[in-house]
Structure 1
Amino acid sequence: MFLDVKAVLFDLDGTLIDSAPDLGAAADKMRVDRGLPSLPLEKYRPMAGAGARGMLGIAFGMTPGAPDYDAMREEFFVNYENAMTERTVIFEGIPALVASLLERGLGWGVVTNKSMRFTGPLTKQIPLFRSAGAIIGGDSTPHAKPHPEPLLEAARRLKVDPRQCIYVGDDERDIIAGKAAGMGTVAAAYGYLGSNADTYVWGADAHIASPLELLALLKSTPAA
C-alpha cells in the first residue's frame, strides 16, 4: 500500500498504450519492401518496448553494431512516424484509471525513453494525454532511464516531491529508475516485458496484472 501519494508517473509503451502493432508494422514494411515475407505481430510484440533496436532485431536479426544499422533505424523511424496511431490503442482500464486518479486529486504524467520526435506528436493525437501534467521523452533531459533524472524532471514539472510519486512501468529499467529517484515502484506485468522476463526479480514495491489493480494500492491516499 502506498501512502501520501500526490502523483503517479507511467512509462508509455507497454504500460499506457499498446503501440506494438504500429511499431511492428513499421519494421515489417521494411521486410516487405525488400521482398521478404511478412512476419506476424506476435513475433514483434515481446520486443516492442525496445523500440527500433527490438523491431530491427526481430525483422532482420540486426544489432546496433551492424554497418547499416543507423540507416535502417532511420528508415524504421520514418515508417513509424508516418503511422504512429493507425493501430495503437490505449490499454483497457487506463482511461478509467486516469479518471480515478484525477478524481482523487492526484497528478499524473508520462516518462518514456521514446524520443520527443515521436512522444510529442503521439500524445497530442490521443485525447487521454491532455490531462497529463508532465510528458517526458527520452531526450527531454540529458539522461534516459534507467537514470533517475527523467523521473525527477517529471516530479519538478508536477511540483511534487519525488518521494510522493510512484512510477509504473513494464521494464526493469523503469523500476531501477524509480527506485533511484526515491519513488515507489510498480511493475506492470501486463506489458511487453521482453522475452521470459520475471517481474518479481526486479525489486519493485508492487506488481499489477491489469491497470485498474493500481487503485487498490492507493486506497489510503487522502482525497483532495
Structure 2
Amino acid sequence: MALFNDVKAVLFDLDGTLIDSAPDLAAAADKMRVVRGLAPLPYEVYRPVAGAGARGLLGVAFGLTPDHEDFPVMREEFFVNYASCMTERTYIFDGVVELVDALAKRGMAWGVVTNKATRFTAPLTASMDLFGSAGAIVSGDTTPHSKPHPAPLLEAAARLGVLPSQCVYVGDDERDMAAGHAAGMGTVAATYGYLGAEANLSAWRSHAEIKSPVELLNFLGPV
C-alpha cells in the first residue's frame, strides 16, 4: 500500500533535489578567492554547503557570516559570478526525467518550490527542457516569505489547483521538511542531494526518505 494516498501533485525543491548546481555555485565562490590572490579550494569542500546558497559558500570560501559588515557586498559579487556561469556545469540528477515522465502517466501535476531568487530560477529553468512541463515554479522571492515558511508551498499548490493535503513535497534540506509539514503536505527527504556529514535526518521528521529520484514512485503507488 502506498504511503501517500490521494496525491494529485508532487512539488520539488530545485538545487540538490532536481538539479545538481553545486559545480557552478562552487565556481562562483572560488572565482572570488582567485581574484583576491587566494588559492582555489577543492570542490569537495564547497559541495556539502551548496544547498545553503551564498551563506554557505561564502562561509567556506572566506569564513564570512551573514552578520559581517562585508557580507551584503560579497554576496552580490557572488550572485554576479553565479549568474554568469549558472548553466555551464549544472545538470539534472539521474532519474529525474524518468520520475517526471512517470508522474505524468499517473496524471499527477508537478512543480518547483525553491528559495533561489527569480533572477536565477527563471533563466536556469528556461534553459532545461525538463521544466517545460512544470505546472508551477515558485522562487524564494515569489511570496513575501521563503522556506521554511509554508507560503511558497501553498502558492504552488494554489497554482496547480490542488489542496495542500493532496501534495507531496520533496527536498534535501531540513527547512524543506519544515515547510512541508507547516503546509500540511507529505514530506520526502532526498538523501542523494547535498547532505553534509552533520545532517541529522531523524530530526527532519520527514514521512519518507529516498536515495534516488525514482524511489519516490514506491510511495505513490502503482499507475
- 1:1-224 aligned within 5 A: 1-220=3-222, 223=223
- State the one-letter code of the partner of 1:135: I
TM-score (structure 2 length as normaliser): 0.97
Give the whole-Å Cα distance in 1 for the aligned partners of 2:81 and 2:193.
23
- Judge conservation of contact 1:47–1:195 (CA < 8 Å) in 2: no
Deviation at 1:68, TM superposition (A): 1.2
Deviation at 1:193, TM superposition (A): 2.1
Secondary structure at the counterpart of residue 189 of structure 2: strand
Identity of aligned residues (%): 68
Q: How many residues align?
A: 221
Gaps of 5+ in 2: none
Give the whole-Å Cα distance in 2 for the aligned partners of 1:146 and 1:69.
22
- State the one-letter code of the partner of 2:15: D
Secondary structure at the counterpart of residue 57 of structure 1: helix
CA RMSD of aligned residues (A): 0.9
- State the one-letter code of the partner of 1:148: P
CA deviation string 1:110-139 (max 9, x = no partner): 000011010111101111000000000000
- Judge conservation of contact 1:28–1:39 (CA < 8 Å) in 2: yes
TM-score (structure 1 length as normaliser): 0.97
Deviation at 1:195, TM superposition (A): 4.2
- State the one-letter code of the partner of 1:14: G
- Judge conservation of contact 1:56–1:73 (CA < 8 Å) in 2: yes
Q: After TM superposition, which residue ranges in structure 1, 4 or more long, deviate above 4 angstroms?
A: none
Secondary structure at the counterpart of residue 77 of structure 1: helix
- State the one-letter code of the partner of 1:44: Y
Deviation at 1:219, TM superposition (A): 1.1
Structure 1, 192-201 or 23-32: larger mean CA deviation: 192-201
CA deviation string 1:62-119 (max 9, x = no partner): 1111121111100000000011110001111101001100111100000000110101
Secondary structure at the counterpart of residue 82 of structure 1: helix
Give the whole-Å Cα distance in 2 for the aligned partners of 1:216 and 1:130.
25
Secondary structure at the counterpart of residue 178 of structure 1: helix
Gaps of 5+ in 1: none
Deviation at 1:196, TM superposition (A): 1.3
CA deviation string 1:176-211 (max 9, x = no partner): 100111100001111112341022221111111111
